[in-house]
Amino acid sequence: MESLTIITTMQPFLVGWVMSIAFFLTLSVVAVISKGRSWYELACLFLLAFLFFCAAGVVCVHLFSDVKMLDFEVISLRAS
């Protein structure tokens, strides 16, 4: 059986900034389109918009900065 190790590196402050920006963008978008909608429609819209803005933020950080927000390394050891 091969031994497998996964090393994860994360930039917590950068993740916090991206999620904060995504939260306030989502709040703004949902506030603009909220007229006449029920609470569960707004909750679904908020969740979808938040996921979209978080993903867009991660993609923008990856494309436009040299800082790796999330980094995964996999190490596999074989017995000789």
Q: How many domains does the chain have?
A: 1
CA dist., res. 15 & res. 23, Å (int) = 12
The boundaries of the domain holding residue 42 are 3-77
The one-letter amino acid at 15: V
pTM score of the predicted model: 0.74
Q: What is the pLDDT of residues 2-59, one digit of tens each?
A: 677 777 888 889 889 999 999 999 999 999 999 999 999 999 999 999 999 999 998 9
The b-or-e profile of 13-51 (16+ CB within 10 A means b, else e) is ebbeebeeebeebbeebbeeeeeeeeeeeeeebbeebbe
